[in-house]
Structure 1
Amino acid sequence: MGGKRFGVLLCAEDSEYVKKKYGGYFGVFMRMLAEEGETWDMYKVASGEFPKDDELGLYDGFVITGSCTDAYGNDKWVHDLLTLLNKLYIMNKKTLGICFGHQILARALGGKVSRSPTGWDIGVRTITMSPSLPVALSSLQLPSKLSIIQCHRDEVQELPPKAEVIGWSDKTGIEMFRYGNHIMGIQGHPEYSTDILLQIIDRLIQRDFIMEAIALEAREKAELWKLDMEAWKILCISFLKGHYDRNEINGK
């Protein structure tokens, strides 16, 4: 008892594959972020399951996952999530948004999200990192360019007032943003492995969301590129917790 406590705001339905192999997307995030002595809770916000107001103070931070839902949509749970995120902002809670989470954070704070004019981004892409990282990240000495898995067709078009771009790519101008030192959004998926990406590509084809040619190119890139998963892990843990202990995370 007495360890840090974090909440995962699950915005997507788990696929059978991910449930069976990884324990769902909650399990995927736990593998990347959880350390010994911590408590991690999951809230299926896409199903209307939210933390209560009097519970928010118990948490040191929250992570918002990806989703198939549009961050600019008007689903009830999306509006409820916007309300929650504004409460977390007022409380100065560490909040990390991934993909849809990145987009909904931008919307909650006054930015604009829409379909990308250049279409889907699926596969692996290189992100250029700004030197203006949050305080907890500025001393990590990470590479200035990091590869990450992408799987999205929406993007943040306009930053919220006072927010700052801290990562971009040759396709998307706002790959990462910060709002002070307690809010950060990442458009890509630092938690995804190549295995998860390939399974998602198959699902997108089955649902006619993407054409076979796009899927083929994405598969080829995914199998050729080296992912900087450890660097993203360091970055995300350091942002949420203000520290990074390589030996502790590697279980040594």
Structure 2
Amino acid sequence: MKKLHIIKAGTTYASTVQALGDFDDWIAAAVACSGLPVAVVDVFAGAPLPSPEACCGVLVSGSHAMVTDNLPWSVAIEAWIPSLIESATPFLGICYGHQLLGRALGGQVGYNPLGREIGTVLVSLTEDGLSDMLFRGVGATFHAHTIHEQSVLELPQGAVALARNPHDPVHAFRAGSCAWGVQFHPEYTVPVMKEYIAAEGEHRSGELLGQVRETPEARQVLTNFASIARLHF
């Protein structure tokens, strides 16, 4: 039986895991309404990657690592992604996963020249994003939770930018017909975002905490992706 596979590319802070769960928990909760069987693959702990034939869809989580560190488990995911694209397996990379998709297909990933982006921010869809199935039901401008230092600095050839903001011109993109990356975190809740702001010791923490709000439109991205994966079940 095919499953919706969540590729766990790291783990959050121990205190956050204890209080709120981990990356895979947040993603699984957001796609639970699909009714699809979900499998978590903890590559960070050495679990093998599934074959494309076993996947009705794949989500790659965020991570505290950096793509440019070229860690062995990360390089393995990067090398595996093209096989998913070739088999037309629906793919969604979140933050770290977004960057891995970009680099796996020939784009450039590195430190964002504007530095770290953290907190609840506004993201706007491009003209292509407005008509993309991943963003069905999402407004032209929406709030999203984010924390990242690296970005997709140059898109892979043929990829289409779907969302942007002043900090990051590639907050989302599509490659081919069924592979997407989003730099923001559609799986984050308000408590998770607040935990990250506090844990990072951000000097603007008071201001940033005051700006944290619910992000239902960003979360809709995960619901939409689960619907796409269901078509391949």
TM-score, normalization by structure 2: 0.89
Does structure 2 retain, via aligned residues, the 8 Å contact 1:96–1:240?
no
Aligned residue in 1 for 2:171: 175
- CA deviation vs aligned residue, 1:37-77 (integer Å, no higher than 9, x gap): 42101111122212243xx3121101011111111222111
Does structure 2 retain, via aligned residues, the 8 Å contact 1:94–1:240?
no
Amino acid at match of 1:220: G
Aligned residue in 2 for 1:198: 194
Q: CA RMSD in A?
A: 2.1
- The answer on 1:11 being equivalent to 2:9 is yes
The farther-off stretch of 124-133 and 152-161 is 124-133
Q: Mapping of 1:71-150 within 5 angstroms?
A: 71-133=67-129, 136-137=133-134, 140-150=136-146
Does structure 1 retain, via aligned residues, the 8 Å contact 2:108–2:156?
yes
User: 1:84, CA displacement in angstroms?
Assistant: 1.3
Does structure 2 retain, via aligned residues, the 8 Å contact 1:167–1:174?
yes
Distance 1:110 1:216, change over 3 A: same
Q: What secondary structure, in the 3-state scheme, does the structure 1 residue paired with 2:33 have?
A: coil
Does structure 2 retain, via aligned residues, the 8 Å contact 1:135–1:181?
no
Aligned residue in 2 for 1:209: none
Aligned residue in 2 for 1:250: none
For CA contacts below 8 A with separation 6 or more, give which structure has more relative contact order: 2
Does structure 2 retain, via aligned residues, the 8 Å contact 1:72–1:107?
no
Q: Mapping of 1:56-67 within 5 angstroms?
A: 56-67=52-63
Distance 1:141 1:39, change over 3 A: closer
Distance 1:29 1:137, change over 3 A: closer
Alignment counterpart, residue 215 of structure 2, candidates 213, 223, 228: 228
User: 1:36, CA displacement in angstroms?
Assistant: 5.5
For 1:36 and 1:213, locate their aligned partners in 2 and report how far apart those are by CA, in whole Å: 39
Aligned residue in 1 for 2:24: 26
Distance 1:95 1:128, change over 3 A: same
Q: Mapping of 1:28-67 within 5 angstroms?
A: 28-35=26-33, 37-53=35-51, 56-67=52-63
Amino acid at match of 1:19: V
For 2:139 and 2:223, locate their aligned partners in 1 and report how far apart those are by CA, in whole Å: 16
For 1:111 and 1:9, locate their aligned partners in 2 and report how far apart those are by CA, in whole Å: 21
Aligned residue in 2 for 1:242: 228
The farther-off stretch of 111-120 and 233-242 is 233-242
For 2:35 and 2:112, locate their aligned partners in 1 and report how far apart those are by CA, in whole Å: 41
Q: What secondary structure, in the 3-state scheme, does the structure 1 residue paired with 2:204 have?
A: helix
For 2:96 and 2:158, locate their aligned partners in 1 and report how far apart those are by CA, in whole Å: 20
For 1:119 and 1:20, locate their aligned partners in 2 and report how far apart those are by CA, in whole Å: 29
Q: What secondary structure, in the 3-state scheme, does the structure 2 residue paired with 1:219 have?
A: helix
Q: Which sections of structure 2, spanning at least 5 residues, go unmatched?
A: none
User: 1:135, CA displacement in angstroms?
Assistant: 5.0
Does structure 1 retain, via aligned residues, the 8 Å contact 2:133–2:224?
yes
For 2:229 and 2:62, locate their aligned partners in 1 and report how far apart those are by CA, in whole Å: 25
Does structure 2 retain, via aligned residues, the 8 Å contact 1:33–1:233?
no
User: 1:98, CA displacement in angstroms?
Assistant: 0.7
Does structure 2 retain, via aligned residues, the 8 Å contact 1:175–1:186?
yes
Does structure 1 retain, via aligned residues, the 8 Å contact 2:90–2:228?
no
Does structure 2 retain, via aligned residues, the 8 Å contact 1:46–1:77?
yes
